[in-house]
């Protein structure tokens, strides 16, 4: 670890200021007053109603995990608030230290994208603080490319012909200057995920509770497969986020950006992108910089550009104002399309194994693009009709980052529990609203493997809900048909559970 490991982060409490054992409510009041914020000011910063802050401080309501994380980030409490919540929170399953983000706070997130005229080199540097109760031993990183935004068919064809490979990416990573090993988690044509492991062949260096560490990783992609955009998504509580784009000045670059939250329409960045000129060796470069303090969870900041001195065959980009606009742009069929009302055609397996494999690949590719548009704290799913393929196939992504995706071919529900619960759901095919949907807490699903074997999967809670939603799609049914009479979907702007897991007893 670095020399400051174990000390308070910048702006944190002085020694002894945070009383050990103090309740979360008392700790919240202490830090809010220390930062000289009213309850209303804190609530606005966190995106909560002011009454919620009042109820938490008065111990009338228990703080949710999302509230605790956002309070820790907004008040810069050096981990005191998060640890107080962990100490006093209701019992929950034991933390898995290897799950991404279990108590991790990002003090500083810096990203640079450097283009030399043929290759893009991306570097990400994050200063992390472990505010949890368990050591962190790995960190999940993602690489996603889309050469032709808004044209999914054209991009799909490109990456099928020229898929990204780990060798070409040349991924390197360090922790406080110490080389890290990494392990591939997902390896798709245009999307990669890898666990950066806090270890190497000389030893291990976990990030222990109360410690800081700087993770620095880099990779490269040729300009034939990197599109004219760079996006930063806030998946962990973050105190500062900054981005730097470096281009050859001779290309006469111009840059602009948009901000998208989990509930609001896309808007221009609220602060300007600054432009400076510099000389590196014999090359004149133009540098574009942008930063924000305490970005909200789930926010996405997208920088785009064009080179006025070079025609790259750019095409007009689609308007991406609403959540449904964003889903449409990545190829998701929208409400009203006839394919969403029909029963999907089953596969004849194993005879159609090749066709089924192709559909599964297209579903994973679409999921990658969808996840660039939204944070899915509940997990997610996608059915083939939603990408305009009339076949009985769906993919389920669990909220557990360690779980493998569940692929369903020709699925049907053969048994369901009598016990039902009601939770809010969203649908990518009409993503501007959320609906309160009753579903069984347990499903037994028969589905087919590529080799023709039929198997039964027993799914509970969140996975049962996700699978039930997608299987409904394969039979031409939308979640609105399951809602109780008199209950209508609400606008996504009014929904407060975005990015959070469903709650189960």
Residue 86 has pLDDT above 50, yes or no: yes
pLDDT at 502: 83
pLDDT at 4: 32
Own/partner contacts of 89-95, CB < 8 Å, gap of 24 or more, are 89/24, 89/62, 89/63, 89/65, 90/62, 95/132, 95/133, 95/134
Percent of the chain's residues with pLDDT above 90: 53
pLDDT at 49: 63
**What's the DSSP call for residue 338?**
G
Report pLDDT digits (tens) over 47-59.
666 666 887 888 8
Higher per-residue confidence, 221 vs 233: 221
| Cβ atoms of residues 189 and 164 within 8 Å | yes
pLDDT at 74: 85
**What's the DSSP call for residue 100?**
T
pLDDT at 320: 60
**Confidence band for 97, pLDDT divided at 50, 70 and 90:** very low
Residue 397 has pLDDT above 60, yes or no: yes
Measured distance CA(479)–CA(504) in Å, rounded: 20
pLDDT at 96: 33
Segment 167-174 mean pLDDT:
97
| Range scoring the smallest mean pLDDT among 44-48, 129-133, 219-223, 331-335 | 44-48
pLDDT at 500: 75
Segment 356-383 mean pLDDT:
88
**Confidence band for 161, pLDDT divided at 50, 70 and 90:** very high
**Confidence band for 77, pLDDT divided at 50, 70 and 90:** confident
pLDDT at 326: 80
Catalytic residue positions, numbered? 470
Residue 190 has pLDDT above 80, yes or no: yes
Helix axes 24-34, 65-75, angle to 10 degrees: 30
Residue 253 has pLDDT above 90, yes or no: yes
Report pLDDT digits (tens) over 438-463.
999 999 999 999 999 999 989 999 99
Residue 16 has pLDDT above 50, yes or no: no
| Average per-residue pLDDT for the chain | 85
| Cβ atoms of residues 189 and 180 within 8 Å | no
pLDDT at 437: 93
- Beta strand 104-115 pairing with 240-248: parallel
State whether residue 382 is helix, strand or coil: strand
**What's the DSSP call for residue 475?**
B
Measured distance CA(198)–CA(178) in Å, rounded: 9
Please tell me whether the overall predicted TM-score, pTM, comes out greater than 0.85 for this model: no
pLDDT at 222: 96
Report pLDDT digits (tens) over 455-501.
998 999 999 999 999 999 999 999 999 999 988 998 887 887 776 77
pLDDT at 98: 34
pLDDT at 134: 85
| Range scoring the smallest mean pLDDT among 4-18, 290-304, 329-343 | 4-18
């Amino acid at each position: 670890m670095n020399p400051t490991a174990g000390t308070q982060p910048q702006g944190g409490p002085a020694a002894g200021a945070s009383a050990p054992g103090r309740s979360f409510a008392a700790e919240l009041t202490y830090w809010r007053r220390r930062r000289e914020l009213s309850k209303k000011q804190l609530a606005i910063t966190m995106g909560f109603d002011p009454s919620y802050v009042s109820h938490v401080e008065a111990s009338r309501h228990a703080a949710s995990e999302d509230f605790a994380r956002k309070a820790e980030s907004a008040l810069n409490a050096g981990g005191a608030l998060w640890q107080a919540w962990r100490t006093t929170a209701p019992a929950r399953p034991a933390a898995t230290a290897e799950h991404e983000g279990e108590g991790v706070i990002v003090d500083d997130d810096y990203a640079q994208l450097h283009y030399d005229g043929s290759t893009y080199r991306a570097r990400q540097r994050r200063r992390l603080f472990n505010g949890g109760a368990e050591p962190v031993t790995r960190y999940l990183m993602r690489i996603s490319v889309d050469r032709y935004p808004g044209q999914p068919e054209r991009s799909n064809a490109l990456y099928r012909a020229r898929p990204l490979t780990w060798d070409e990416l040349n991924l390197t990573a360090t922790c406080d200057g110490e080389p890290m090993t990494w392990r591939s988690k997902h390896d798709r044509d245009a999307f990669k995920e890898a666990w950066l492991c806090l270890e190497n062949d000389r030893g291990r260096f976990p990030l222990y509770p109360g410690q800081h560490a700087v993770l620095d990783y880099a990779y490269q992609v040729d300009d034939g497969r990197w599109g004219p955009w760079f996006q930063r998504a806030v998946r962990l509580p973050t105190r500062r986020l900054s981005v730097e784009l470096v281009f050859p000045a001779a290309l006469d670059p111009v840059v602009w950006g948009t901000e998208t939250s989990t509930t609001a329409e896309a808007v221009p960045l609220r602060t300007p992108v600054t432009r400076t000129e510099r000389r590196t060796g014999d090359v004149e470069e133009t540098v574009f910089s942008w930063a924000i303090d305490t970005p909200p969870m789930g926010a996405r900041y997208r920088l785009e550009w064009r080179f006025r001195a070079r025609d790259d065959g750019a095409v007009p980009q689609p308007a991406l104002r609403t959540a449904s606009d964003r889903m449409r742009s990545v190829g998701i069929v929208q409400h009203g399309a006839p394919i969403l009302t029909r029963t999907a055609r089953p596969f004849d397996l194993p005879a159609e194994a090749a066709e089924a494999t192709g559909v599964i690949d297209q579903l994973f590719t679409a999921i990658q693009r969808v996840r660039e548009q939204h944070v899915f704290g509940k997990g997610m799913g996608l059915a083939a009709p939603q990408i305009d393929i009339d076949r009985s196939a769906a993919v389920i992504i669990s909220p557990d980052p360690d779980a493998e995706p569940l692929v369903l071919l020709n699925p049907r529900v053969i048994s369901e529990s009598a016990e039902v619960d009601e939770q809010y759901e969203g649908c990518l095919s009409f993503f501007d609203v959320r609906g309160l949907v009753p579903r069984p807490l347990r499903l037994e699903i028969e589905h087919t493997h590529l080799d023709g074997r039929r198997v039964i999967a027993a799914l509970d809670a969140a996975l049962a809900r996700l699978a039930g939603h997608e299987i409904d799609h394969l039979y031409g049914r939308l979640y609105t048909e399951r809602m109780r009479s008199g209950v209508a979907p609400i606008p996504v702007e009014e929904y407060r559970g975005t990015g959070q897991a469903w709650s189960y007893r």
